[in-house]
């Protein structure tokens, strides 16, 4: 009997051990099978599914397949570019990024602090074309001799390289870019205005620098992540020739900072902020300027602007805001456009025919490109003729911050000409003369005012002959081809028949901030 029990117990023990061994052998096999299926599925998606060509989240064209040449194959640039294209144009890129951002937000510690702050820095190292330090401008000797030095900052440096601060929680989240310029960083901007006054002695020349939002909304505990903008603005104004009129909107905006003068989810100011700036300019220029009761208020509801893509912080996406703009009433105006033809590197390679169109484009609720309400995009030359017959003709030399200004000038000037400094190819002396310009306003945000490239471009406008850039042949027909890129590589900014949706993003390119203090990326401060 005892012997039977021992045998039985031994048998049961052996069976249990076998079952345990079977279970332990199945688990690794199941893990390998699931992992293998996951990798197989991803391989199928990444190899066979259509590649992404544009990122709505990042507001940019994604890399296209590089052109092949034997030389590029042997020097390694072709394989390197193929690798970059493969990773940059992955299928469902925006959806995967949004999923990643959502997961990071889910695991982030929520302190229930209304002033919760997150600092997001660029993970990409600085390069020669995208320096981590914004230029302080040309030397005094260069200014005295009128030398235009080589470009010291890439005008296409992405805004995200400056570092982004995300403040607040819930529907009060605000994303802002840190500023890193020093107190002398905008002197070359003043030099450009001085040069224009010297070139056009009979024309009124004005200089406006638009501060960015972090100057007015940065919590004390994160101020080490940015630098004050007032010293740079003040020094630039002091550097102006007495005959150039400074338009100091800093204190005007600060006075109204409790109002919605900057967008929370976009890097631009709001049309209301631009209204207060335009009012200050009208005072300096000595032209009439009516109150907001002369405008019809319109709203694009629940938009999420550029800062979601730049910050990749899902809390920005979850805090939509209304885009409120103002359309003048009681004044007649006609808007004429000349669209620029640009390649995928945004080099101007041609111009379209003049055409008339709306100054204010209509965007559907929820459209993150609502700031393009004004003129539809940056890539055009704009002329507005108004029913204000006072002989004053204004030219605004601007970046995209300046887009919100012209709509407030229709009561003040007979004509308003809008020139984007990134795309203008005509000769400025001829343009001012032929259009009888009486007033020139430099209106740029502080990033572009701190870039010496802005000075270089504006001064070069005075002597350029109107020739276009050579097209960038990103995909030539064959390895020996030197022809222009195919039609698919050219962006033509023709007017859209459906003004509810504009085909082009607002491609704002800013100079990186300089020498940001050390703050760890994605830190909650």
Residues spanned by the domain of 62: 51-107
Are residue 314 and residue 445 in the same domain, yes or no?
A: yes
Select from 83, 107, 131 the last residue of a domain. 107
Q: Is residue 299 part of a domain?
A: yes
Are residue 99 and residue 206 in the same domain, yes or no?
A: no
Are residue 280 and residue 399 in the same domain, yes or no?
A: yes
Are residue 75 and residue 202 in the same domain, yes or no?
A: no
Q: Both tokens of residue 121?
A: 């820095």
Domains in the chain, number: 2
Place of tokens 């802002």: 176
Closest CA to 513 of 158, 25, 275, 192: 158
Place of tokens 């390679």: 349
Q: Is residue 6 part of a domain?
A: no
Q: Is residue 235 part of a domain?
A: yes
d(CA 214, CA 178): 7
Specify the DSSP element, H or E, that contains 43.
helix 2-48
Contact 412, 392 (CB under 8 A): yes
Q: Is residue 198 part of a domain?
A: yes
Are residue 93 and residue 241 in the same domain, yes or no?
A: no
Which tens digit of pLDDT belongs to each residue from 113-154?
555 656 555 443 333 333 333 333 334 433 333 333 323 223
Q: Is residue 132 part of a domain?
A: no
Contact 369, 506 (CB under 8 A): yes
Select from 86, 107, 128 the last residue of a domain. 107
**pLDDT at residue 420, as a whole number:** 96
Which tens digit of pLDDT belongs to each residue from 55-108?
666 666 777 788 888 888 888 888 888 777 676 777 877 666 666 656 665 555
Are residue 207 and residue 319 in the same domain, yes or no?
A: yes
d(CA 137, CA 474): 33
Place of tokens 């990033």: 447
Q: Which residues contact 290 (CB under 8 A, 6 or more apart)?
A: 411
pLDDT tens digits in sequence order for the chain, 525 residues long: 555 554 455 555 556 566 666 556 677 777 787 888 877 776 776 667 777 777 666 666 777 788 888 888 888 888 888 777 676 777 877 666 666 656 665 555 454 555 565 655 544 333 333 333 333 333 443 333 333 332 322 332 223 334 888 988 889 999 999 998 999 999 999 999 999 999 999 999 999 999 999 999 998 888 888 999 999 999 999 999 999 999 999 999 999 999 999 999 999 999 999 999 999 999 999 999 999 999 999 999 999 999 988 888 888 999 999 999 999 999 999 999 999 998 877 889 999 999 999 999 999 999 999 999 999 999 999 999 999 999 999 999 999 999 999 999 999 999 999 999 999 999 999 999 999 999 999 999 999 999 999 999 999 999 998 777 665 544 333 333 333 333 223 333 333 333 333 333 333 444 333 333 333 333 333
Are residue 103 and residue 194 in the same domain, yes or no?
A: no
**pLDDT at residue 424, as a whole number:** 95
CB atoms near residue 59 (< 10 Å): 20
Select from 82, 107, 132 the last residue of a domain. 107
**pLDDT at residue 117, as a whole number:** 58
Beta pairing class for 380-386 and 415-420:
antiparallel
Specify the DSSP element, H or E, that contains 337.
strand 333-343
Buried b (16+ CB within 10 A) or exposed e, 409-435: bbbbbbbbbbbbbbbbbbbbeebbeee
3-class SS of residue 494: coil
Are residue 451 and residue 328 in the same domain, yes or no?
A: yes
DSSP assignment of 22-38, as one string?
HHHHHHHHHHHHHHHHH
Q: Is residue 129 part of a domain?
A: no
Furthest-apart CA atoms within the chain: distance in Å: 122
**pLDDT at residue 58, as a whole number:** 61
For 84, list phi and psi in degrees, rounded to 5: -65, -45
Using the 8-state DSSP alphabet, how is residue 408 labeled?
G
**pLDDT at residue 62, as a whole number:** 76
Are residue 433 and residue 325 in the same domain, yes or no?
A: yes
Q: Is residue 239 part of a domain?
A: yes
Q: Is residue 137 part of a domain?
A: no
Are residue 197 and residue 63 in the same domain, yes or no?
A: no
Helices (H) and strands (E) in the chain, counts: 15, 18
pTM for this predicted structure? 0.71
């Amino acid at each position: 009997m005892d012997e039977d029990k021992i045998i039985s117990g031994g048998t049961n023990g052996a069976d249990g051990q076998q079952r345990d061994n079977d279970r332990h052998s199945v688990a690794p096999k199941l893990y390998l099978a699931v992992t293998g299926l996951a990798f197989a599925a991803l391989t199928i998606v990444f190899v066979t599914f259509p590649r992404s060509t544009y990122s709505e989240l990042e507001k940019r064209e994604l890399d296209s397949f590089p052109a092949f040449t034997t030389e590029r194959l042997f020097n390694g640039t072709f394989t390197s570019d193929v690798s970059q294209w493969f990773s940059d144009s992955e299928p469902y890129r925006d959806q995967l990024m949004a999923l990643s951002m959502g997961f990071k937000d889910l695991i982030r510690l929520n302190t229930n602090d209304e002033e919760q702050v997150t600092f997001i820095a660029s993970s990409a190292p600085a390069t020669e074309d995208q320096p981590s330090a914004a230029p302080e401008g040309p030397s005094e000797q260069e200014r005295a001799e009128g030398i235009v030095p080589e470009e010291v900052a890439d005008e296409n440096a992405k805004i995200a390289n400056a570092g982004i601060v995300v403040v607040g929680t819930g529907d009060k989240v605000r994303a802002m870019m840190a500023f890193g310029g020093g107190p002398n960083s905008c002197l070359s901007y003043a030099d450009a205005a001085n040069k224009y006054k010297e070139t056009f002695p009979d024309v009124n020349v004005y200089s406006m620098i638009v501060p960015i939002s972090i100057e007015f909304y940065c919590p004390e505990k994160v101020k080490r992540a940015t630098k004050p903008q007032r010293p740079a603005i003040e020094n630039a104004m002091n550097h102006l020739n007495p005959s150039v009129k400074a338009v100091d909107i800093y204190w005007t905006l600060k006075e109204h900072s409790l109002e919605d003068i900057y967008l929370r989810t976009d890097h631009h100011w709001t049309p209301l902020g631009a209204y207060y700036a335009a009012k200050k300019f009208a005072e300096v220029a000595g032209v009439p300027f009516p109150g907001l009761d002369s405008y019809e208020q319109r709203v694009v509801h629940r938009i999420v602007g550029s800062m979601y893509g730049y910050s990749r912080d899902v809390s920005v996406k979850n805090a939509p805001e209304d885009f409120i703009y103002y359309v003048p009433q009681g004044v007649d105006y006609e808007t004429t456009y000349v669209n620029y033809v640009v390649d995928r590197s945004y080099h101007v390679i041609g111009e379209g025919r003049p055409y008339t169109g709306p100054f204010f484009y209509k965007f559907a609720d929820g459209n993150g490109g609502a700031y393009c309400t004004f003129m539809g995009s940056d890539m055009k030359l704009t002329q507005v003729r108004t029913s204000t017959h006072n002989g004053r003709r204004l030219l605004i030399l601007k970046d995209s911050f300046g887009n919100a200004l012209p709509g407030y000038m229709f009561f003040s000037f007979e004509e308003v000409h809008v020139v984007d400094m990134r795309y203008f190819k005509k000769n400025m002396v001829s343009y001012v003369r032929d259009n009888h310009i009486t007033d020139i306003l430099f209106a740029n945000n502080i990033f572009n005012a701190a870039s010496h490239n802005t000075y270089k471009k504006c001064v070069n406008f005075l002597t350029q002959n109107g020739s276009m850039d050579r097209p960038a042949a990103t995909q030539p027909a064959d390895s020996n081809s030197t022809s222009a890129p195919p039609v698919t590589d050219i962006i033509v900014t023709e007017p859209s028949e459906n003004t509810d949706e504009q085909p082009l993003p607002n491609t704002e390119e800013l100079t990186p901030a300089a020498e940001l203090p050390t703050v760890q990326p994605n830190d909650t401060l």
